[in-house]
C-alpha cells in the first residue's frame, strides 16, 4: 500500500568497482512532499493506532523498514 513512497535509480557500474555493485538504490519520497495544504475531513486512524503510528492521518503515514534486519515493508 505504501510502496509508492519509494523511488529507485540505477547508478553506473564500473567493471573496476572494488566491491560487489549494488545495482539499484532506493530513497524515500514521504507523503508531505505531495499533500499540499491538508484538506478538511480526511480519513483518520483509530486513536490507538494513531498513537502507535505517530500520526492520526493515513495520508501522512510513512513506513520505514530497517535495512539491518529482514524487516517487512509497512512496519
Cα distance between residue 56 and residue 75, in whole Å = 16
At its nearest, how many Å lie between another protein and the CB of residue 12?
Answer: 23
Phi, psi of 59, deg, nearest 5: -70, -15
Contact 23, 8 (CB under 8 A): no
At its nearest, how many Å lie between another protein and the CB of residue 36?
Answer: 7
Between 16 and 37, CB nearer to another protein: 37
List contacts with another protein (CB under 8 A): 28, 30-32, 35-38, 51-55, 57, 60-64, 66-69, 71, 75
Amino acid at each position: 500500500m505504501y510502496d509508492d513512497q519509494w523511488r529507485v535509480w540505477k547508478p553506473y557500474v564500473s567493471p573496476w568497482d572494488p566491491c560487489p555493485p549494488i545495482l539499484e538504490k532506493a530513497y524515500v519520497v514521504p507523503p508531505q512532499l505531495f499533500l499540499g495544504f491538508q484538506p478538511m475531513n480526511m480519513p483518520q486512524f483509530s486513536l490507538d493506532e494513531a498513537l502507535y503510528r505517530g500520526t492520526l492521518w493515513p495520508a501522512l503515514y510513512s513506513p520505514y523498514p530497517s535495512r539491518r534486519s529482514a524487516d517487512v515493508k509497512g512496519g
